[in-house]
Amino acid sequence: RLGLKPLAEAPQRAEPLLAPVCGSSRYGLALLSCYGFFVAYALRVNLSVAMVDMLNTNVTGNASPSHCPQHASPARPRHNHTASLYDWDSETQGWILGSFFYGYILTQIPGGYLARKYGAKWLLGLGILGTVLFTLLTPLAADLGAGYLIAVRVLEGIGEGVTFPAMHAMWASWAPPLERSRLVTISYTGAQLGTVVALPLSGEICFYLDWTYVFYIFGAVGLLWFILWVFLVSSSPSTHRRISAQEKLYITSSLKTLSTQTRLSPSSDHIPWLSICRSLPLWAIVVAHFSYNWTFYTLLTLLPTYMSDILGFSIQQGGAVCPVPFCGRAGTNVSSELCGVISLVFESPGMIGPAVFLVATGYTGCNYVLAIVFLTVSSSLGGLTASGFNINHLDIAPSYAGILLGITNSFATIPGMVGPVIARALTRYNTMEEWQTVFFISAGINVFGATFYTIFGKGEVQPWAVKKERSHGH
């Protein structure tokens, strides 16, 4: 009996002792990737604020007064007028704001595949570095013409398109199942923080310096991140030079246990593209991701314009007020801690709630306090949505999480490509009725996405993501 006892107990010890959190490499990766997504989103949204200060308001089409009375604003420093101004109409502005996503969509699926095949560290690092370098070239491109600026923004999108697929692929190798939600949440919270910080800071930079410094300052912050990323990060625990033996054992053993229990298909196997394309739970994520991003990108790219043209805020005031809705979104993103158990529960309130309050925003008139409250509630409820579909990729197929995110993010990039163009085409005269139409469109898409995901979404590993056992006769 004594000889058999260890053998009987061995299967029960599949889960190793937890490795400490403080000073760990996996949480160091979470914090540094949070910084990376901060940079990525700061570079994505800063043009939305800078655009307000880049336009020549003395030109017909850019000089229309705001729908509501202007708010009192401090006098602008004289040196604010040293940067160039441009005569872009509303249609050109829409194309410039949406051009980033035309590049962004190109590298979604290739990003997931390349990260899985060659490792995520360099793919993600070089992707964001490329965005940083083209951001630094933005003022020069704008001086050369709108076409050059659009080209630069497309190239920025190409670089940044690999970030989410690469990060998902990295967490597939780094995140123990018990800590997956927490680590992914920390990592992707950087996207919300980048939005929250970049919007007001861009407004202050435009006010005290000029709009060109928006791109120079955030570009420098991005260069610092790349240096830290190169020296402190590895694609997997097995290649990390400073990870403790205890933490490496904890991560690799827990992932191996998960793979054994669910018979996950290993990353070296062929990719079941046909099964992936036929997977209804995956299409549920696609629809939810598309719907979420339609509202998110509409606010992300056009909220500063709405604050200026409708509510009468100056660029400094608008920059200070715009991040308030995204602060709420960042706060509710922590709910993804629970997604491993009730991920589908959050999706309906996370998409229908924002639709209701977004429509209500269009009927607040010039009551800017109520408008900001409604936008904040809408955005905060939208943060619940991330708890559903973002980590659902890891739920239904952990081995292919990077590729799945590349697929869903490709479809979810379409709103960023067409949303600003459609919205600016619908708001040529900046009337409240035109913006109500924009909000109604976003709300309708949200309600459809919530309904589809609630019906067809799943939270368990799908059969095509499970390793197939070969029969003895074959």
Q: What is the mean pLDDT of residues 54-75?
A: 63
Whole-number Å distance between alpha carbons of 78 and 221: 27
Whole-number Å distance between alpha carbons of 392 and 194: 23
Q: What is the mean pLDDT of residues 6-12?
A: 39
pLDDT digits (tens, 9 = 90+) for 305-319: 788 788 887 766 656
Q: Are 41 and 198 in contact (CB under 8 A)?
A: yes
Q: Note the pLDDT of residue 158.
A: 95
Tell me how many helices (H) and strands (E) the chain has. 21, 0
393 token code pair? 């990729």
pLDDT digits (tens, 9 = 90+) for 258-280: 666 555 555 545 788 899 999 99
Residues across the chain: 474
Query: What are the start-end ranges of the H helices in 10-107?
Result: 25-54, 90-104
Q: Are 313 and 71 in contact (CB under 8 A)?
A: yes
pLDDT digits (tens, 9 = 90+) for 342-398: 455 555 566 777 888 889 988 988 888 888 888 888 877 776 666 567 778 878 888
Q: Note the pLDDT of residue 63.
A: 47
Domain ranges of the chain: 25-68+87-465
In sequence order, what are the residues at sequence separation of 6 or more whose Cβ sits closer than 8 angstroms to the Cβ of residue 435?
306, 310, 362, 427
Q: Concatenated DSSP letters for 198-227?
A: HHHHHHHHHHHS-THHHHHHHHHHHHHHHH
269 token code pair? 């196997």
Whole-number Å distance between alpha carbons of 314 and 443: 27
Q: Note the pLDDT of residue 52.
A: 84
More confidently predicted of 366 and 321: 366
pLDDT digits (tens, 9 = 90+) for 165-192: 889 888 888 988 888 878 888 898 898 8
C-alpha 178: how far from its chain's center? Answer: 23
Q: Note the pLDDT of residue 405.
A: 80
Whole-number Å distance between alpha carbons of 46 and 184: 25
Whole-number Å distance between alpha carbons of 33 and 190: 8
Q: Label residue 430 exposed, middle or buried (CB < 10 Å: 0-12, 13-18, 19+).
A: middle
144 token code pair? 């050369």
**Within 13 Å and on the Cβ side, how many CA atoms surround 447?**
11
Choose which CATH entry (3.30.360.10, 1.20.120.1200, 1.20.1250.20, 3.40.50.20) describes domain 25-68+87-465.
Answer: 1.20.1250.20
Q: Note the pLDDT of residue 438.
A: 92
Q: What angle, 0 to 180 degrees and rounded to 10, lies between the N-to-C axes of helices 368-383 and 280-309? A: 160
Q: Say what the pTM is.
A: 0.75
